[in-house]
Amino acid sequence: MTTMTIGPTSEKTPAPPKLNPPERLLFGPGPSNPDPRVLQAMTANQIGHLDPYFVELMDQVMRSLRGVFRTANHHTLPISATGSAGIETIMMNLLEDGDSAVIGVAGYFGHRMAEMARRAGADVRVVEVPSGQTLDPAQIDAELKKKPAKLVGFVHAETTTGACQPIAPMVEVAKRYDALVAMDCVTSLAGLPIDLDALGVDAAGSCSQKCIGAPPGLGPISIGPRAMQAVQARKSKPHTWYLDLALLFQYWGEERASRSRAFHHTAPIAMIYGFHEAMRLILEEGLEARWARHQTAHEALVRGLDKLGISLFPAPADRCATINVVNVPTGVDEAAVRRRLLGMGVEMSGGLGVLAGKVWRIGVMGYNAQIPRVERFLGALEEALRAEGWKAA
Q: Could you state, in order of their start, the residue ranges of all structural domains in the chain?
A: 25-31+287-387, 36-284
Average pLDDT over residues 27-49: 97
3-state SS class at 366: helix
Q: What is the per-residue pLDDT for 10?
A: 62
pLDDT at 8 over 60: no
pLDDT interval class at 237 (50, 70, 90):
very high
Q: What is the per-residue pLDDT for 255?
A: 77
pLDDT above 70: percentage of residues in the chain: 96
Whole-number average pLDDT of the chain = 95
Closest to 321 (Cα-Cα) out of 93, 75, 79, 157: 157
pLDDT interval class at 261 (50, 70, 90):
confident
Q: Would you tell me which CATH number, out of the four given (3.30.420.40, 3.40.50.150, 3.40.640.10, 3.10.20.30), belongs to the domain 36-284?
A: 3.40.640.10
pLDDT at 319 over 60: yes
Q: Give the phi and the psi of residue 185 in degrees, each rounded to 5.
A: -120, 40
The answer to whether 100 and 128 have CB atoms below 8 angstroms apart is no
Q: What is the per-residue pLDDT for 393?
A: 63
Query: What count of other Cβ atoms lies within 10 Å of the Cβ of residue 343?
Result: 11
Quick one: fold of 25-31+287-387? Aspartate Aminotransferase, domain 1 (3.90.1150)
Return d(Cα 197, Cα 71) in angstroms, integer: 5
Report the C-alpha dihedral over residues 119, 174, 179, 140, rounded to 10 degrees: -40
Average pLDDT over residues 321-325: 98
pLDDT interval class at 379 (50, 70, 90):
very high
The answer to whether 209 and 63 have CB atoms below 8 angstroms apart is no
Average pLDDT over residues 218-224: 98
The answer to whether 44 and 33 have CB atoms below 8 angstroms apart is no
Angle between helices 371-387 and 334-343 (to 10 degrees): 120
Tens of pLDDT, residue by residue over 293-317, are 999 999 999 999 999 999 999 999 9
Alpha carbon distance, N-terminus to C-terminus of the chain: 76
Return d(Cα 348, Cα 378) in angstroms, integer: 11
pLDDT at 260 over 80: no
| Amino acid letter, 221 | I
Tens of pLDDT, residue by residue over 100-158, are 999 999 999 999 999 999 999 999 999 999 999 999 999 999 999 999 999 999 999 99
Return d(Cα 124, Cα 46) in angstroms, integer: 44
3-state SS class at 152: strand
Global pTM value: 0.94
3-state SS class at 131: coil
Q: Which residues contact 146 (CB under 8 A, 6 or more apart)?
A: none
